[in-house]
Amino acid sequence: MAVARKEVTGLTARAAGLVGCLHCGSVWPKDTSRCGLCGSALTSRRNASLQHVWAWWWAGAIFYIPANLYPMLRTSLFGQESSSTILGGVLELVKHGSWFVAFVVFFASIMIPVGKFIAIAYLATVIRRGGAIDSHSLHKLHEVVEFIGRWSMIDVFVVAVLSALVHLAFVVNIDPGVAAICFALSVVFTMLSALSFDPRIIYDVAEVRE
């Protein structure tokens, strides 16, 4: 244990008999239940963290399936309706030679959500089963997931803006499809999933390995 502690770059609050407030950053003695500064609840570790992560993760994943199968946009041009799914839209853009837009859409709507699912699942799995981990890169991964998650909403914003603005009666009309809501929910749930993750568990796992 001592050797392990040495290897750890710093002392954890818990090991020091302290607990940090996640809200204002102040440090309190271990058994303090409420922050004296901001009044938020203090907990050394959120024990149910992984449960939450997985629950939100599943909810997000479930909604991500219809988000990809159902049409995102229903476009009616001169009375002729056409609807396209996310991937269909990307292929359509590629077909029209809009490589950049296609990449942006693909990146925001496919790569980021899928990458987020993989990343969160990886974090949760690694933490639960332990094994060789690089706690520093795990922290980095968590930060990236948390930061980039919100950008997935770019698709939903495009759909929302388009459907709000493009209502030119018979000529052209754009309505959000079922997939838009599913996608939005999926993004929200994965963001919640990422937020539920208590990065301090990573320390414990590293300690356990020691």
What is the contact surface with other proteins in residues (CB under 8 A)? 47-48, 50-52, 54-60, 62-63, 65-66, 70, 78-83, 117-118, 121, 124-125, 128-130, 178, 182, 185, 189, 208
Instruction: Give the C-alpha distances (Å, rounded to integers) separating 163 from 85, 89, 99, 103, 166.
Output: 15, 16, 23, 22, 6
- CA pair distance 193, 35, nearest whole angstrom: 25
In the complex, least distance from residue 121 CB atom to other proteins, rounded to whole angstroms: 5
In the complex, least distance from residue 42 CB atom to other proteins, rounded to whole angstroms: 18
In the complex, least distance from residue 36 CB atom to other proteins, rounded to whole angstroms: 26
Q: 10 Å Cβ neighbour count for 152?
A: 24
**Would you say 1 or 103 has its CB closer to other proteins?**
1
Structure tokens given for 79 = 């009375």
Q: Under the phi-then-psi rule, with left for phi > 0, alpha for psi from -120 to 50, and beta for the rest, what region is 166? A: beta
In the complex, least distance from residue 123 CB atom to other proteins, rounded to whole angstroms: 11
In the complex, least distance from residue 180 CB atom to other proteins, rounded to whole angstroms: 13
Instruction: Give the C-alpha distances (Å, rounded to integers) separating 149 from 105, 189, 208.
Output: 15, 10, 30
**Would you say 52 or 139 has its CB closer to other proteins?**
52
In the complex, least distance from residue 16 CB atom to other proteins, rounded to whole angstroms: 22
**Would you say 155 or 204 has its CB closer to other proteins?**
204
**Would you say 46 or 139 has its CB closer to other proteins?**
46
- CA pair distance 205, 132, nearest whole angstrom: 10
Q: Are 184 and 156 in contact (CB under 8 A)?
A: yes
Amino acid letter, 19: V
**Would you say 104 or 144 has its CB closer to other proteins?**
144
**Would you say 43 or 103 has its CB closer to other proteins?**
43
Within 13 Å of residue 105, how many CA atoms lie on the same side as its CB?
20
